[in-house]
Amino acid sequence: MRIVYRVLLLILAALGLILAVVLYYTVNPKLPDYVPVEQVHYQDQWSAADRQTYYFTPQGTQVKGLHYDWFTALELPFSEQRFATPAYLARFGFLVDPKQVPTAQNPGNLPVGFARHKNADSNVEYLDITCAACHTGELHYKGQALRIDGGSAQHVLPSSVPTLRGGSFGQALVASLAATYYNPWKFERFARQVLGDRYDAEHSQLRQDFKRSFDKFLQVAWNDTHRGLYPTEEGPGRTDAFGRIANASFGDAITPDNYRVANAPVDYPQLWDIWTFDWVQWNGSAQQPMARNIGEALGVGATLTFFDDAGQPLQGDARYPSSVRVRDLNLIEETLQRLKPPTWPEELFGAIDKPLAAQGRALFAENCAGCHVPGVSQEGGRPVQHLKMLPVDYIGTDPNTASNIADQRYDLSALQWDPVELTRLNVQLHPAPTEPLDLKKMSVAKGLAYVTAFVEDHAYRAAGVTPTERPRLDGYGLPIGVRELRAYKARPLAGVWATPPFLHNGSVPTIYQLLSPQDERSVTFYKGTFNYDPRHLGFETDAFKNAFLFDTKITGNHNSGHEFRAGERGNGVIGRGLLPQERWALLEYLKVLGGPLEQQLP
């Protein structure tokens, strides 16, 4: 008996200790400090109006039903300080400008990409995380910031799995939601702020609605944690996009049997010139812009309804209502067609050594152009770049994301699709299947293609999109093409110096390291800083307070492949060894590649 009692006591003490640690880090989450820069420098990548359109046009995501005015009224768990201040949100890696003030497009004075929308059928304004939140970057140097529109984000937005040290956005947000719900004084202040003179009439309704959203956050955090869905910690600047979209669309929305471990976090790719690519995504799996954007929106929190109130699968034209905003998605997509790559700012990062860059140009032609300079043709009113796809076995970089997309299967039979009706959708499978589709064993890319095709049709009807308009909204009249290659694409490299870290999984911190053999690359390095290293072309990798330690030994994080090394080609070796001075010359050339300075080289 005494032993049982002691064991119980011990367990209780351990639980108490864990709770104390969690509470400690709820008050002091392990986040980098916010160091305001002197000035944010914007480039002429497009007009200032385009930039605002891109930053704040909603796409139809509603973060677990969180209202915009709730988000801006939330306080930190143990103080009256607001949660959604630029200085606090910047600590999660979201982009703010020290000079920013509330504007008509951004009344809450929130970071880049925090937009809002109302659905047609209600007056509620939701917080809407839009493209710019993930596809905008920033490089800091000597107290100055260079904003990279369409660049790679470095935030910890998607991580939903709590950690004991409390460094994730989701965890901090849930802590604030919990404190607001359970602390009556806090809720009182919150309700007065949100409701104003509607306080008396709507106070209890607000409490109910708030609880519903709060519960969704808890459910997801609990689900993702106890199922161990995301074992490879994403850290700053990454998310397992396909894994998360599949778990949301096929797991949450259809059956828990469809949850799959997602251990392949990827970097946020840069978006200039993507409208000219024949195929997009790291593994070149998607073709049509609208379907790609709808799929992404579903993964980031747009609503999607598969079943009616009685739990029966929706049929025919009832398939599938969602909150995606096709006209806004099209506006963003067309705005992106005007986005130019960033140009190396000599006044901030130092002058270009033109003779050295000219040597780099020759080395580039010899060692890189075969993969990174695609053939171009003119098709459907746009220049199309035909990107080279390199099999994983050959390029040798981390296989997880390509393999997961190629191998994982999901049971979508509950949706009761009729094979004949699927053939009428605008989906094009590559290669064309020789056997009937097995709805019990659908890949994420195929499943998502059909889901987005239904969602697209439904959303177009709801938005009154005419057949004549349709090709433009789809994007150059492209079908919803699907490929599942075990391969990664070699993208054109204009402006690549501005998009660290490198490779699809962000496992190599600088371009200098990428051009060096694997044994000269960092096995572990620190992430979460915006401090740029203009010499090696990447982020600084040294330790700093509350940095994220990136470990390339973990599955999904491998920094192998894309190696220049003597020996046989293949298995990750893609070129001859490069002498250090050759690497420097290549770096110098990459700074100007595709920009105005390239024309000035000797």
Binding site for ligand HEC (CB under 6 A): 59, 129, 131, 133-135, 157-158, 239, 241-242, 266, 268-269, 271, 274, 280-282, 293, 296, 300, 329, 332-333, 367-368, 370-372, 390, 395, 397, 401, 488, 490-491, 493, 496, 499, 502-504, 511, 514-515, 562, 574-575, 586
Q: How far is the CB of 19 from ligand HEC (least distance, A)?
A: 31
Q: How far is the CB of 129 from ligand HEC (least distance, A)?
A: 6
In angstroms, the Cα distances linking 462 to 61, 92, 299, 329, 487 are 17, 36, 21, 14, 37
Which residue number, 333 or 484, has a Cβ lying nearer to ligand HEC? Answer: 333
Which residue number, 158 or 374, has a Cβ lying nearer to ligand HEC? Answer: 158
Place of tokens 């890189």: 368
Q: What is the CA radius of gyration of the chain?
A: 24
- State how far the Cα of 182 lies from the Cα of 78, in Å rounded to an integer: 12
Which residue number, 429 or 494, has a Cβ lying nearer to ligand HEC? Answer: 494
Q: How far is the CB of 173 from ligand HEC (least distance, A)?
A: 15
Its sign, for the CA torsion 39, 42, 47, 49, is negative
In angstroms, the Cα distances linking 77 to 91, 182, 298, 409 are 16, 10, 30, 41
Q: Which two tokens stand for residue 238?
A: 């990454």
Q: How far is the CB of 204 from ligand HEC (least distance, A)?
A: 34
Q: How far is the CB of 228 from ligand HEC (least distance, A)?
A: 21
- State how far the Cα of 598 lies from the Cα of 602, in Å rounded to an integer: 9
CA angle 25, 73, 324 (to 5 degrees): 95
Contacts of 314 (CB under 8 A, 6+ apart): 305, 306, 307, 308, 320, 321
How many Cα neighbours within 13 Å face the side chain of 106?
22
Q: Which two tokens stand for residue 541?
A: 């990798």
Which residue number, 242 or 525, has a Cβ lying nearer to ligand HEC? Answer: 242
Q: How far is the CB of 372 from ligand HEC (least distance, A)?
A: 5
Place of tokens 């959203």: 213
Its sign, for the CA torsion 43, 32, 113, 294, is positive
Which residue number, 82 or 583, has a Cβ lying nearer to ligand HEC? Answer: 583
Q: How far is the CB of 345 from ligand HEC (least distance, A)?
A: 19
User: Is 48 exposed, middle or buried, given 0-12, 13-18 or 19+ CB atoms closer than 10 A?
Assistant: exposed
Its sign, for the CA torsion 568, 572, 575, 580, is negative
Cβ distance 242 to 404 under 8 Å?
yes
Cβ distance 444 to 405 under 8 Å?
yes
Which residue number, 158 or 162, has a Cβ lying nearer to ligand HEC? Answer: 158
Which residue number, 98 or 517, has a Cβ lying nearer to ligand HEC? Answer: 517
Contacts of 602 (CB under 8 A, 6+ apart): 354, 355, 358
Q: How far is the CB of 389 from ligand HEC (least distance, A)?
A: 7
Which residue number, 131 or 229, has a Cβ lying nearer to ligand HEC? Answer: 131
Which residue number, 186 or 558, has a Cβ lying nearer to ligand HEC? Answer: 558
Q: How far is the CB of 522 from ligand HEC (least distance, A)?
A: 15
Which residue number, 390 or 473, has a Cβ lying nearer to ligand HEC? Answer: 390
User: Is 357 exposed, middle or buried, given 0-12, 13-18 or 19+ CB atoms closer than 10 A?
Assistant: buried
Q: How far is the CB of 167 from ligand HEC (least distance, A)?
A: 18
